[in-house]
Structures are given as C-alpha cells and as structure tokens.
Structure 1
C-alpha cells in the first residue's frame, strides 16, 4: 500500500511539488488544500489549476488531513505556525508533516510541539535555494527525530535531501543564516544599482565590482535580483522577518535582517502598485532601476 500526500498550499512551490511527486513509485495520490480554494473570487480558478496539475482537490484542511499519510506544508513564512496548529486539529495520529516553510528555529519548534502533541511526526526542511530551476530536486536539509527516515523516502522519489540533525531548529538555522546573506545581497544590489543609475555613475561602479569579484556577472546577476524581488518581494520580506526572529533567538539585535525585510517589502509594494508593469524576467536591471528613479 502506497502513501497519500497532502499539500497544504498550492502556490508556486506547492504546485511544483505536487506535479513532481504525482506518479512516483509508492505515491498513491496527491491531494491539495489552499485557502484560495474557498475564496468566492479565486476559488474556481484555483481549484481548476490544481486539477490541471492532476491533483485531487480537498474542500478543507480537515478533508485534506483525513486522506494524507504525509502532509507537506508549503505556505508563506508568516503562516507557518498557524497552519501547523490547524493541521494538528485534524491530522491523523501516525501521519507525518514535512514543513518546507522559511521560518525561524523557534517557530519550527512551536509548530512541531503542536503536531507531535497529537501523534503527528514533524520534520523541518531548510530549502536551500530557489525551487523553480530545480523542481523537486531542489537541495533541502531535514531536521528532527524523524528526519533520517523521511529523507530515505524522499530520496527514493528522486529528491535531493539530507538529514542534518535529529534536533529541531538546526536545518532552519542553516537556512535562515543563508537567507540573511542572499536576500541581503538582493537588497544591496537594488539600492546600490538604483542609486548609481540615478547619479549616472553605474559605468564606474560595476567595473569595480567585477574587479573585486570577477566570478560574478554583475549585470546579469543584478537583473536576476531585481526580477526576483519584484516578483516575490512580499514572500521574501516575510522570510526575512523570520530571519530577523532567528537573529533575536540567537541573542542579537537583527539590524540587518530587519532592514532587508523592509527593502524587500518596499519593492513589493511598488510592484503591487504597478510600477514595474511591462517589465519581465528578460529585462535588464536598468529597466527596473529607471522605474524606481522615475516613480511619482
């Protein structure tokens, strides 16, 4: 008898995992639940998108949990704990939950406590890079008492996972520490490039970056950073607020992580207001910077 999967969240990441795991040896079915399914405005389209992926659509978290042997939580960082607590009200004892969300070690530990109190095995995951280029083979680190056993199952499905600790919080600490650097680079590039462009000195600034870090294509990397923040800045800001919480949990004031979250959120706000309409991932960084410079 195979495993029935239950996806909590059918956004970009949930959709990738749903499509990628459907039909794997030992996977009998993949169910999905997303709050958008119950929304009067978005429900029909959201459910249809999941069905096109070949997934079975649940009508509620309770229905999803009634079917699932393994739940996979792929929601926004700010929803990590609330989703775990809701799943704990419905999940079957003996089932498992894999938490893909970018949250602090303390948040993951509280999520685990809620689920393990009702007999659900909790495994945290640190997703170590952007999911879309890799699909289900995105590198992931797992943590918790059940990480080793689940890693074996996931590797059998062709995933790139490794258990790093039987202690909850270790995988998330690795992920969050890395995120401060990566999302920080995004924020720094956007602020530096837009400022240089405004003063007309980018042709002087970028060559110095290439001289110092010749392994990086600063023009191409800059365009990629702008496009990713414009597209996913809200989600990145939520992740950085969890990164800031990780810093606090370590006993430090999160001066940098908080500033990165604010910058990501600010760019996301400009995007929601339509500032970057008509610009896509193929555009150069100058196109994004010019919109910021010319905003009213």
Structure 2
C-alpha cells in the first residue's frame, strides 16, 4: 500500500518512523516547514498524495481543512484519507466534503492520548461511514483504533469535549501557580491541592501540565479554538474553551522557559522572568 503523509511535525514524524519500522514506509510527504525527516518530500500536497492508497493528514487544527483542499486534486478515487487533526465536528465534515468530492474515503480519527509515549499505539477513535471498512487497514498498520458509532463528527466531538477539560487544566495549573509564586504561597497551594487530589504528586503534575503548554502551546491554542467551535455548536458560549486558547497562546510565547530537568519552582521563576 502506497502511503502519503501530510505534516511532519511531532505526530507526523513519529508515524513515519514507526510505520517504516513495521514495513509500511511513507512513499512521499509534504510539509513546507520541515524539509528533512527521512521521507521523500513533494513540492506540494497534491503531488504528495498522487497515487497513494492511504493519505494520513497530521498537520495542525488550523491547517487541516486547507491541507485537504490542497491535496484534493491529487487524491485517487477510493483512496483512504485518515484525518488525525484535532478539529471540531463541523471542520471534519467540511474536510469530508472536499475529500469525498474527489471520490476518496474520509475517515476521521480522534487521537485520545499524547502520542510520544505510545507512538503508533496511541489509542484513537475512528468515525464516519467508512470507519468500519478502514478498521482492518488500521490493524494491519499497527494502529490502536476502534470505531466510534454514530455520524461523522462524533469521534471528534469526544476529543474536543475532552480537550476542554485537559487543556483547560494545563491553563489552570499555570495561572494558579504563577500567581501563587508571586505571592510566595505556592507551597501552601500545592499542599491544599494534594489533599483535594489524594494520591497525586501535585508538584510533579503541575510541572508536567505547565511544561506541555509551554512546549505545545501554539498547537494546543489552535485545538482549543476548534474546541470552542464545538461548544458553540452545542448552543453554549465557549467561555472556558476560548480563555484556554488564550492562555495556551500565552504559554507558547514562553517556550524558552522550559527545562525538562528543572523543578517546579525554578520553572515558575523562569516563566516569570520572561514577563
């Protein structure tokens, strides 16, 4: 099976490496921002997907629909188009309209955990009318996938509603503890949170959550704007999702503060110095 990949960021790079290790090398990829990931690069998205039986889109939430439109002229009839991007259900439906307008088969994939630890085996939900037919292909590739019943967009709704909580917690940890550090009360706050969350190492969890936002804030902010769209589709004003997008954008601008070995207090001080 000829595989094409759109996007060679963290997720795309991991997929390319792990698929090749399992005997499914990516034939061609396109990512204008990353010229060398050990994969043959095409000059554009349509060229990358030409002749591919499987196209995997692993760009960013903001770029997902545009990537599908750019790739569409090169899509082969009956090709699989697996969209891994963290997007609102309405965005997934727009991508499906583009893909299926070319005769290809759109499968939405909601990636339900951080990719680096489990890499190719990161759990994902497959959605849309072609998800069941694609499941044996996913198994052959080594993906840990299951079909989410319901119309296209349902799997992404699960991911987006989850993101309101998970990315929101990252934003809350950062805002709470940076303010606490300023007032000299972070240790008391952490002790109180440890009582609220028994069995949790509050300082380590805080360091992890804040670090994830610093390293991946730009991508998370895009995802949270899609989450806000998902909330708005439900008739709710996305107060929390929109605020989280703003805090994630803010964190992205302080990426230089991240030191994977630094304790929490040092990390908080490094962020404050950048302000």
Which TM-score band applies after superposition, normalised by the shorter structure?
Answer: over 0.9
User: Conserved in 1, the CA contact under 8 Å of 2:16 and 2:25?
Assistant: no
Q: Does 1:132 align with 2:126?
A: no
* Residues 130 and 226 of structure 1, relative CA distance in 2, 3 Å threshold: same
- Which aligned pairs between 1:89-168 and structure 2 lie closer than 5 A? 89-168=73-152
> Which residue, out of 2, 19, 26, partners 1:4?
2
User: Conserved in 1, the CA contact under 8 Å of 2:88 and 2:230?
Assistant: yes
User: Conserved in 1, the CA contact under 8 Å of 2:5 and 2:49?
Assistant: no
Secondary structure at the residue paired with 1:71?
Answer: strand
Deviates more, 1:281-290 or 1:193-202: 281-290
**Match in the other structure for 1:215:** 199
User: Conserved in 2, the CA contact under 8 Å of 1:226 and 1:285?
Assistant: no
C-alpha separation in 2, matches of 1:153 and 1:262: 38
> Which residue, out of 3, 12, 17, partners 2:15?
17
**Match in the other structure for 1:237:** 221
Q: List gaps (5 residues or longer) in structure 2.
A: none
C-alpha separation in 2, matches of 1:176 and 1:138: 17
Q: Does 1:56 align with 2:40?
A: yes
Q: List gaps (5 residues or longer) in structure 1.
A: 37-45
**Match in the other structure for 2:31:** 34
1:148: how far off? 1.2
Secondary structure at the residue paired with 1:294?
Answer: helix
C-alpha separation in 1, matches of 2:73 and 2:200: 48
Runs of 4+ in 1 over 4 A off after TM superposition: none
1:270: how far off? 2.7
Deviates more, 1:16-25 or 1:95-104: 16-25
**Match in the other structure for 1:226:** 210
RMSD: 1.5
TM-score by length of 2: 0.95
**Match in the other structure for 2:262:** 283
C-alpha separation in 2, matches of 1:258 and 1:24: 40
- Which aligned pairs between 1:198-213 and structure 2 lie closer than 5 A? 198-213=182-197
1:56: how far off? 2.5
Q: How many residues are paired up?
A: 275
1:78-111 CA deviation, whole Å, 9 max, x = no partner? 0111111112222111111000000000000010
